[in-house]
Structure formats: C-alpha cells, structure tokens
C-alpha cells in the first residue's frame, strides 16, 4: 500500500535516510525504532506524502508520489490514519472539533459521526475534555485525541509517530491493543516508538516486525528484542 | 468552487482559520479607503459626462455671426449679412440679437448700468441650423467676400478644446478608477499571503487530515473577501453620505458633483466589485502559495 524504494533524504547536505526500502502491505505491523534524530519522523512523513525524497521513489496506494497532484495527495491521505509526534491540532478549536476535523474538510459531518467521536473520546479517557482547547491539555491527552481522530476515519492503514510517548503504561497498552485489534482485521500499522517494553508486550499478541533506523540505514532488528 | 458555493459558505471552513488579527482590520480599512475614493471618482466621471452632454445639446444647433463695423455701416452690413444667411442652405433662421438681450447677456460680467451705445460692441446675429447644418467654410468665405466686417462663429472653434479637455478628464478619472482597483488587488493579495504565512501550522494540520488545497484556500479567501466587502460597503456609504450633502444644482457653469437619479445606482456595484477583486486576487495568491508549499 505504501512503498519506498531506495529512498534518500538529506537536510542541508546531512543525509538522514540513505537508500531506504520499505513496503507496507495489508496485515503488516511494523515497529520503527532508532535513536532520536535517526529519521523516524522523516520516514513517516515520506509515507504520508508530506515530503518528497531527494532520490528514490515513494508510491502511495500504487501511485508514484512524484506524479501526484496536491488533490491526489489529499485523497491518499484521506485513506490513512496519521498520528504525528506534535503540532497536529488547530489550537483555536475545541478538542472535539479537532477530532472531527477530517470530516469537516471532507464536508460530511453528521450526527452519527459526532456520536462515534464521542464514544471514541470517552474510550480514550477524554470525555471531560471535549470543549478544551488543545494547548490546555497534557501531552498524553493530546496524543490520545490524535489517535482517536486517526482511527475515527476507519483508515486503510495507520502511521503513528510515538503515539504512546507521553502515556502511562496502562494507557499505552490500551492503545497498543486497539491498534493490534485493527491490525488483526487487516489494517497495516507502522508505528515509531522508543518504548522497548511496549514492543516486548506486543510480541505475544501480534506478529510484528521491528525495524531499526540508524545512520540513515533501515535494518530489521534481530531476535535480541 | 463557484461563486454560489462561496456565498452559501461552509461553516466548517469558516472556523478552521483562526480569527484574523491586524491583517483583517487592514484589509477592511484599505478597501474602505479605496471604495471611498472610487465613489468620488465615479461621481466626477458622471459629472463630466453630464457636462459634455449639456455642451452638446446647448451648442449643437446654433452659431453666431458678429458684425464688427460701427455707425451707419453697421446697419447696412447687418442687412447684407442677414441676406447672405437667408440664402445659405442648412440655416433655418437668423435673427439679430436686440440690444436689450445683449445687455442681459453681458450683465453678469459688466453689471447693470452698461452704456451699450458708447461701447464699440459688435452686433450679434444668432443663427439656427436645420437638417445637417451648413458648410461653415463656404459661409465664412462668402461672408468675407460680401461683408468683410462679418465674422462667423460656429461654436466648434471653442467647443473642440472643451470637448478635448472633457475627454482627457474622463480618461484621467477612469485611470484613477483602474489604479484604485489595482491597489485593492495588491492589498488583498498581500493580505492573503500574510494570512497564509501566519498560519503555516493550520495549513499543515489541514493537509494532515486530508484537506484539498482548494478547500484550504477557500477558508482563507472567504474570510478576506467578506472583510473587503464590508470595508468597501462602509467606505462607499460614507462617501455617498458626503456626496448627498453637496448641492444638487451646479455652480459656475458646472453641473453638480452630487449624483442625481440613476447616477446613484452607479455606486451600488462598488462594494460588489471590491469583493470580486478581493476574491480573484486572494484565491490566486492563496492557491499559488499552497502550491509552493509541498
Ligand atoms: N524540515 C527539516 N529541516 C531540516 N532538518 C530536519 C528537518 N526535519 C528533520 N530534520 C533533521 O533530520 C533528522 C531526523 O529527524 P527526525 O525528526 O526524522 O528524527 P526522529 O528519528 O523522528 O527523532 P525523534 O526520535 O527525536 O523524534 C534530525 O537531525 C532533524 O534535525
Ligand atoms: Mg520523531
């Protein structure tokens, strides 16, 4: 569904990704690990079509990114559930409207969706924060809202950048379980995380692969994990 | 995005752009000033048009013959000139303007007690044309031959420079209107660009959730266009209110600057035109800017 082939990204001459190849197919569950600054976020942004590589090819749902118009990129993004590490809310709108934003921009917001959003926000423990402005929430609360928003659109695949970075262990496990449930139904998941404990906890539940990004190279981590 | 969609609006799109700060106020103020100037320019253009119109109707069908000789010669010359005029094709009638009338004509300039007899004033013959008028050059030549003291004044001579001046003034007024529109376009384009740069994060978030560039642009364009419309409406209302206090009748041979009747209707499109200019320019610069941001 998403294919990176021999992709290279450099910022101001510094190579962040070098010759990276990755294919995300239905049913895949990938953990993406690596030290801070290794390029995890960069790789996820490539997958979301939010940036173009210097070299190599990115394909979203079979179409080369380089040949896509901005409308085509928007359409591709509508099929993805994307959770970024930071800055993913409109700070002047209440949390609930931020969660419903994907439907606002599609021009189809109805009572049923509002009810669904309500349920999902309650499930991730945000029932009391619907009217709160994002900047007034904690980092963990924002992450839960971001995941709720990504899942509300019933995405064909999930890209999540450290979705549990600020969460306590219990909530992390809860969200991980939700992603694993989705994955069992066939939805591929690519999740960047530093949390080795979480990866270990996932092992018995899902046939996940652990990808490690270091010095621009993407490798599959061994059995040591 | 059609105009209709635009007017119907999208409550969601309206809310995703943070409330406009000083940019919005500047757009309102700028368009208000432009509309204010535009209204006066239009009133001036309408006045010039009426001025030209009155000259054309007043002067089109008349000419004057001056008899410059004095004493007894004057009466004889007048008779001969009248005879010539009567036999000229294209002339309906010719009539000597009596002294009394001439005095009335001169009164505004020289006062009431003008001793006409002691002044070497020319005698005037008023000529009314018919059909396509007469051949001024031929008549001039004939008068020169038969009555050297007679001079034909067919009004074209001084009407032409006036008409030229009027044409130039109208041109200048139209150029002023074009400049006003261009300034408005520049102000709104700048405002669109400023709003988009100030809201880079908003754009990123909207794209993240799958918004199309046209949808994002619309959210910004709608905001700025409405501001421009309201500003222009305010500016033109103020200008119209000021014009309404002007006298309805003109002075010193000039028509009134205050528009009358239909000319008021010319002012109605000013805010609409401002909104249209704002819409076109903000949409263009917004889309171009979004295109430049991958
Ligand atoms: N837009 C950008 N302009 C310049 N440099 C950038 C840009 N985005 C990322 N970088 C650089 O690329 C490198 C990789 O960044 P990236 O955000 O992908 O790391 P990461 O693996 O997600 O790190 P973290 O675990 O801290 O989130 C960093 O050194 C960062 O400074
Ligand atoms: Mg990162």
Do B236 and B175 share a domain, yes or no? yes
Q: Which tens digit of pLDDT belongs to each residue from B67-94?
A: 888 777 888 888 888 888 888 888 888 8
The Cα B59–Cα B57 span in angstroms is 6
CA-based R_g, chain A, Å: 17
Please report the pLDDT score of residue B78 as a whole number.
85
Contact criterion met (CB below 8 Å) for B247 and B259: no
Q: Is the pLDDT of residue A112 over 50?
A: yes
- The interface residues of chain B toward chain A in range 4-23, judged by CB-CB distance below 8 A, are 10, 12-13, 15-16, 18-19
Asked, for residue B46, whether it belongs to a domain, the answer is: yes
Comparing alpha-carbon positions, the chain B residue that sits nearest to A78 is B210
Mutate one of A70, A106, A146, A147 to test the B interface: name it (highest B CB count within 10 A): A70
Report the domain count for chain B: 2
Do B127 and B250 share a domain, yes or no? no
Copy the structure tokens of residue B9: 């609006």
The Cα A15–Cα A17 span in angstroms is 6
Of B148, B177, B194, which residue is a domain's last?
A: B148
Q: Which residues contact B112 (CB under 8 A, 6 or more apart)?
A: none
Do B170 and B286 share a domain, yes or no? yes
Q: Is the pLDDT of residue B112 over 80?
A: no
Ranking A94-98, A220-224, B18-22 by mean pLDDT, the lowest is A220-224
Asked, for residue B64, whether it belongs to a domain, the answer is: no
**Which domains does chain A show, CATH number per domain?**
2-79+155-224 (3.40.50.300), 87-140 (no CATH)
Residue nearest to atom 10 of ligand 1 (CA): A11
Q: Which residues contact A99 (CB under 8 A, 6 or more apart)?
A: A117, A120, A121, A145, A148, A149, A152
Of B148, B176, B206, which residue is a domain's last?
A: B148
Q: Does the distance separating the beta carbons of B10 and A102 come in below 8 Å?
A: no
Contact criterion met (CB below 8 Å) for A92 and B19: yes
Element of type H or E holding A83: strand A80-83
Q: Which residue has the higher pLDDT, A115 or B193?
A: A115
Please report the pLDDT score of residue A129 as a whole number.
92
Q: B12 contacts in A (CB within 8 Å)? A: 104-105, 107, 109
Do B247 and B137 share a domain, yes or no? no
Chain A contact for B205 (CB, 8 A cutoff): yes
Q: What is the arithmetic mean of pLDDT over B84-110?
A: 78
pLDDT band at B7 (very low <50, low <70, confident <90, very high): low
**Cα-to-centroid distance, A161 and ligand 2 (Å):** 7
The residue range of the domain holding B143 is 69-148
Asked, for residue B155, whether it belongs to a domain, the answer is: no
Look up the pTM and report it. 0.74
Residue nearest to atom 8 of ligand 1 (CA): A42
Asked, for residue B172, whether it belongs to a domain, the answer is: yes
Give the up-direction half-sphere exposure of residue A203: CA atoms within 13 A in the CB hemisphere: 10
Asked, for residue B63, whether it belongs to a domain, the answer is: no
Q: Is the pLDDT of residue B3 over 60?
A: no
Please report the pLDDT score of residue B56 as a whole number.
59
Mutate one of A60, A72, A74, A151 to test the B interface: name it (highest B CB count within 10 A): A74
The Cα A122–Cα A102 span in angstroms is 19
| Closest ligand 1 atom to Cα of A42 | 18
The Cα B109–Cα A190 span in angstroms is 96
Ranking A33-37, B151-155, B156-160, B244-248 by mean pLDDT, the lowest is B156-160
Please report the pLDDT score of residue B195 as a whole number.
83
What is the CB neighbour count within 10 angstroms for residue B264?
Answer: 15
Asked, for residue B62, whether it belongs to a domain, the answer is: no
Comparing alpha-carbon positions, the chain B residue that sits nearest to A46 is B294
Do B108 and B172 share a domain, yes or no? no
Q: What is the arithmetic mean of pLDDT over B277-284?
A: 89
What is the CB neighbour count within 10 angstroms for residue A181?
Answer: 12
Do B101 and B209 share a domain, yes or no? no
Ranking B103-107, B112-116, B199-203 by mean pLDDT, the lowest is B112-116
Q: Does the distance separating the beta carbons of B290 and A90 come in below 8 Å?
A: no
DSSP class of B229: H
Asked, for residue B26, whether it belongs to a domain, the answer is: yes
Asked, for residue B118, whether it belongs to a domain, the answer is: yes
Do B44 and B117 share a domain, yes or no? no
3-state SS string for A107-167: CCCCHHHHHHHHHHHHHCCCHHHCCCCHHHCCHHHHHHHHHHHHHHCCCCEEEEECCCCCC
CA A108, distance to chain mean position in Å, is 23
The Cα B139–Cα B124 span in angstroms is 16
Do B169 and B287 share a domain, yes or no? yes
- CA dihedral sign, ordered A171, A175, A178, A180: negative
Q: Is the pLDDT of residue A44 over 60?
A: yes
Chain A contact for B207 (CB, 8 A cutoff): yes
Of B148, B175, B197, which residue is a domain's last?
A: B148
Q: Is the pLDDT of residue A224 over 50?
A: no
**Cα-to-centroid distance, A158 and ligand 1 (Å):** 20
Q: Which residues contact A191 (CB under 8 A, 6 or more apart)?
A: A29, A30, A31, A32, A158, A160, A163, A179
| Closest ligand 1 atom to Cα of A45 | 18
Do B263 and B189 share a domain, yes or no? yes
Do B140 and B52 share a domain, yes or no? no
Q: Is the pLDDT of residue A223 over 50?
A: no
Q: What is the arithmetic mean of pLDDT over B193-213?
A: 88
Q: Which tens digit of pLDDT belongs to each residue from A48-102?
A: 999 999 999 999 999 999 999 999 999 999 999 999 987 789 999 999 999 999 9
Range with the largest mean pLDDT of A32-46, B90-104, B112-126, B159-173: A32-46
Chain A contact for B286 (CB, 8 A cutoff): no
What is the CB neighbour count within 10 angstroms for residue B157?
Answer: 10
Do B125 and B170 share a domain, yes or no? no
Residue nearest to atom 25 of ligand 1 (CA): A36
What are residue A33's DSSP bridge partners?
A: A212
Do B131 and B224 share a domain, yes or no? no
Contact criterion met (CB below 8 Å) for A127 and A82: no
């Amino acid at each position: 569904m998403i294919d990176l082939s021999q992709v290279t990204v450099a910022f101001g001459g510094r190579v962040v990704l070098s010759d990276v190849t990755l294919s995300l197919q239905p049913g895949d569950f990938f953990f993406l690990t690596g030290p801070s600054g290794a390029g995890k976020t960069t790789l996820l942004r490539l997958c979301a079509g939010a940036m173009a590589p210097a070299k190599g090819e990115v394909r979203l749902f079979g179409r080369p990114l380089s040949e896509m118009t901005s409308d085509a990129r928007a359409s591709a993004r509508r099929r993805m559930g994307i959770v970024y590490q930071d800055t993913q809310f409109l700070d002047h709108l209440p949390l609930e409207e931020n969660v419903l934003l994907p439907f606002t921009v599609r021009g189809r917001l109805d009572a049923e969706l509002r009810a669904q959003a309500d349920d999902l926000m309650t499930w991730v423990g945000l029932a009391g924060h619907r009217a709160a402005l994002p900047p007034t929430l904690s980092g963990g609360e924002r992450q839960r809202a971001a995941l709720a928003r990504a899942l509300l659109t019933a995405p064909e695949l999930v890209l999540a950048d450290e979705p549990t970075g600020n969460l306590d262990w219990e909530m992390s496990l809860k969200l991980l379980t939700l992603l694993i449930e989705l994955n069992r139904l066939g939805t591929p998941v690519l999740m960047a995380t530093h949390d080795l404990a979480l990866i270990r906890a996932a092992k018995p539940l899902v046939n996940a692969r652990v990808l490690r990004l270091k010095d621009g190279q993407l490798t599959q981590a061994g059995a040591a994990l | 995005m059609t105009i209709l969609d635009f007017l119907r609006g999208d409550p969601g799109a309206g809310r995703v752009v943070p409330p406009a700060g000083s940019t919005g106020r500047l757009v309102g103020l700028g368009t208000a000033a432009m509309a204010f100037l535009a209204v006066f320019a239009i009133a001036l253009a309408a006045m010039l048009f009426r001025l030209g119109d009155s000259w054309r109707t007043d002067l089109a069908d008349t000419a004057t013959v001056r008899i410059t000789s004095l004493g007894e010669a004057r009466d004889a010359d007048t008779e001969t000139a009248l005879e010539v005029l009567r036999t000229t094709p294209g002339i309906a009638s010719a009539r000597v303007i009596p002294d009394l009338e001439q005095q009335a004509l001169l009164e505004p300039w020289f006062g009431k007690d003008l001793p006409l007899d002691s002044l070497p004033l020319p005698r005037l013959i008023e000529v009314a044309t018919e059909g396509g008028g007469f051949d001024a050059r031929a008549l001039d030549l004939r008068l020169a031959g038969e009555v050297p003291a007679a001079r034909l004044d067919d009004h074209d001579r001084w009407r032409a420079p006036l008409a030229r001046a009027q044409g130039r003034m109208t041109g200048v007024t139209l150029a002023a209107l074009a400049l006003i529109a261009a300034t408005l376009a520049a102000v709104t384009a700048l405002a669109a660009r400023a709003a988009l740069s100030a809201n880079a994060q908003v754009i990123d978030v909207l794209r993240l959730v799958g918004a199309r560039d046209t949808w994002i642009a619309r959210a910004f364009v709608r905001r700025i266009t409405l501001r421009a419309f309201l500003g222009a409406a305010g500016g033109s209302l103020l200008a119209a209110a000021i014009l309404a206090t002007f006298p309805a009748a003109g002075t010193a041979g000039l028509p009134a600057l205050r528009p009358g009747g239909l000319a008021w209707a010319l002012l109605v499109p000013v805010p609409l035109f401002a909104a249209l200019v704002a819409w076109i320019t903000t949409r263009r610069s917004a889309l171009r800017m979004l295109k430049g941001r991958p």
